[in-house]
Amino acid sequence: MDPQYRVAIFGSARIREGDREYNDVFAIAKGLAESGFDVVTGGGPGLMRAANAGHRSAQSGKRSIGLNIRLPHEQTANLCLDIKHEFERFSQRLDTFMSLSDAVVVAPGGIGTLLELFYAWQLVQVEHICETPIILFGSLWGGLLDWLKTEVLSRNMIGEGDFGMIFHVNEPEKVVALVRSIHEDRILTGHACKNFEKYRIDFGALHEGGAGA
């Protein structure tokens, strides 16, 4: 097992403990910890806390990392972090996210989560980072993927290949299994991205005409 393999989990600060999305992200992060992976979040409340709390609950010895941002209405770091770092600029924070992370899970969220999603996607598209799968978790993302394909792809503003690193998964256990499979193949072959289409079939992690996994 690669001791440095880390998974970024992005998601809304507005989701409350006990909500379905909170419980799902808690379960994903716990499963990732049990699989031997660190997690990296924005370090704040909501789904960020769900991820850090879920990861810590596994008591795996792996690290739960928070990259907090200072805001006018200050976002307080949650108390489930093993490592914390604070940023004043979103750009520095985003670059740190991507330099630390081997895989990205995007849970339901708003403008901040969309910023994180598209920044990660852009870096993979232009090959500033590689071997980095982006896993969209939850039915929220179905409409966005539909719009991107019907409005943006259809006008040739992006290419079909730009969807190659995107996976759409609706079950927490499938997210964990997908990350595990990608990680195992990266260790064996050194080129996990060559298997991205295989994962899409094996895990049902594709989105066509509104039907996610």
**201-212 tens-digit pLDDT:** 666 655 543 333
Rg (CA), the chain: 16
CB-based contacts of 14, cutoff 8 Å, min separation 6: 46, 110
pLDDT number for residue 52 = 98
**112-151 tens-digit pLDDT:** 999 999 999 999 888 887 778 999 999 999 999 999 999 9
Looking at CATH, the fold of the domain delimited by 6-202 is given as Rossmann fold (3.40.50)
Half-sphere exposure of 95 (CA within 13 A, CB side): 6
pTM: 0.88
Q: What is the mean pLDDT of residues 170-188?
A: 91
pLDDT number for residue 108 = 98
**85-111 tens-digit pLDDT:** 999 888 999 999 999 999 999 999 999
